[in-house]
């Protein structure tokens, strides 16, 4: 077997070229094509006549797109901060060597095994004013109990945040816990010798020393926010009205339901630029660290 392996003139470079070729054509090629489409007046059929930045002007005067962007910011900030805070808190509890730690870890990691569609559907049922939590509490006798965020245009976005945090907090817990387990025992001893209270130890010594881990978590969650589509579809379908529209949903809707290739492409490219802008500080700091 070994000699047979050695006789094969295995060429890693060819494998790599094929792989990069596929990526170049289907990934970067698609990006370029989308970019081109966003500069045309294409609707159902691609139209290769150059039309300048018309689509971008239409996009950024479109009320639905602006609401989508605003929603993404609200959802993004609350989701990232909430998930990080909740996941970190869980990891700190787990790090204090609680009993049945692995049981809790499994419980908290479990939502991640459930697809976002199922998460969204379950939370829609739980938060449904008639059949869900509100109905249950009213049924038990508290007639005036109201929890109808899901159908309240001003509050529906926060139900997405709740479901999102529930889904991702376990993952963040596991990542941060792995980082905490890597903390040198001597550092904890030094903290005890100095008599530093636990909360200051975590906030001022341990977590600042885990910056790369926390940054990775933020980047991971950021990508969730930008491509946030399935949770919205499963929970609110963008409603009530356009109260929970998201940019990714906007793009998909305009590609396939409203067959406006040009505007949808403009939306996609805007999202790409936004992602790059958000990730730029991360790459910049990583790059500087390497120098």
Partner 1 sequence: MSSVSIRKIRKSFAGLTVLDSVDMEIAPGEFIVILGPSGCGKSTLLNVIAGLDDCDSGQIVIDAVDVSGLEPSQRGLAMVFQSYALFPAMTVRRNLSFGMEVAGTPKATIVQKVDWVAKLLQIEALLDRKPSQLSGGQRQRVAIGRALVRSSSICLFDEPLSNLDAKLRAETRVELKQLHETLKSTMIYVTHDQIEAMTMADRVAVMHKGRVEQFAHPQSIYEKPASLFVAGFVGSPAMNLLEGSLDGTGCFLVGLRSISSSAYPFENPSAGEAVLGIRCEDIGIVEPGSPDSIPAQLAFTELLGADALGWFDCLGKRMSVRLGVDAARSMAKEVGLRFDMAKASFFSAATERRL
Residues lying near partner 1 in the complex (CB under 8 A) are found at: 184, 186-187, 189-190, 192-197, 200, 204-205, 208-209, 211
CB-nearer residue toward partner 1: 85 or 190: 190
CB of 92 or CB of 264, closer to partner 1: 92
- Min dist CB 172 to partner 1, Å, is 20
| DSSP per-residue letters across the chain | -HHHHHHS---HHHHHHHHHHHHIIIIIHHHHHHHHHTTB--SSS----B-TTHHHHHHTT-HHHHHHHHHHHHHHHHHHHHHHHHHHHHHHHHHTT-TTHHHHHHHHHHHHHS-HHHHHHHHHHHH-TTTSHHHHHHHTT-TT----GGG-TTTHHHHHHHHHHHHHHHHHHHHHHHHHHTS-HHHHHHHHHHT--HHHIIIIIITGGGHHHHHHHHHHHHHHHHT--HHHHHHTTT-STTTT--HHHHHHIIIIIS--HHHHHHHHHHHHHHHHHHHHHHHHHHHHHH-
Phi and psi at residue 121, to the nearest 5°: -65, -45
Q: Which is nearer to partner 1, 16 or 187 (CB)?
A: 187
Q: How far is the CB of 178 from partner 1 (least distance, A)?
A: 17
Q: Which is nearer to partner 1, 21 or 208 (CB)?
A: 208
In the complex with partner 1, the residue whose CB is nearer, 200 or 227, is 200
CB of 162 to partner 1, least distance (A): 32
Closest contact distance (angstroms) between CB of 191 and partner 1 is 8
Give the residue with the Cβ less far from partner 1, 143 or 186. Answer: 186
CB of 93 to partner 1, least distance (A): 22
Minimal distance in Å, beta carbon 4 to partner 1? 47
């Amino acid at each position: 077997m070994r000699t047979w392996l050695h006789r094969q003139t295995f060429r890693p470079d060819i494998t790599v070229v094929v792989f990069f070729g596929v990526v170049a054509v289907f990934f970067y090629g698609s990006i370029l094509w989308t970019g081109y489409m966003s500069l045309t007046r294409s609707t159902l059929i691609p139209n290769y006549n150059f039309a300048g930045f018309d689509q971008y002007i239409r996009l950024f005067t479109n009320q639905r797109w602006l609401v989508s962007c605003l929603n993404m910011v609200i959802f993004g900030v609350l989701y990232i901060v909430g998930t990080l805070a909740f996941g970190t808190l869980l990891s700190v509890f787990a790090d204090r060597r609680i009993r049945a730690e692995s049981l809790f870890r499994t419980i908290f990691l479990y939502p991640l095994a459930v697809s976002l569609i199922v998460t969204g559907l379950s939370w829609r049922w739980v938060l449904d004013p008639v059949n869900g939590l509100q109905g249950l509490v009213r049924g038990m006798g508290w007639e005036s109990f109201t929890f109808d965020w899901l159908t309240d245009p001003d509050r529906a976005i926060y139900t997405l945040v709740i479901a999102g945090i529930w889904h991702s907090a376990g993952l963040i817990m596991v990542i941060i816990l792995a980082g905490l387990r890597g903390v040198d025992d001597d550092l904890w001893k030094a903290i005890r010798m100095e008599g530093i209270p636990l909360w200051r130890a975590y906030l001022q010594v341990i977590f600042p020393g885990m910056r790369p881990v926390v940054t990775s978590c933020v980047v991971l969650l950021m990508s969730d926010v930008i491509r946030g589509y399935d949770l919205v579809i499963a929970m609110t379908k963008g409603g009530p009205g356009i109260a929970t529209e998201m940019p990714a949903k906007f793009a998909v809707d305009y590609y396939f339901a409203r067959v406006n290739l040009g505007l949808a492409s403009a939306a996609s490219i805007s999202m790409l630029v936004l992602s790059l802008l958000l990730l730029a500080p991360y790459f910049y700091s990583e790059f500087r660290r390497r120098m």
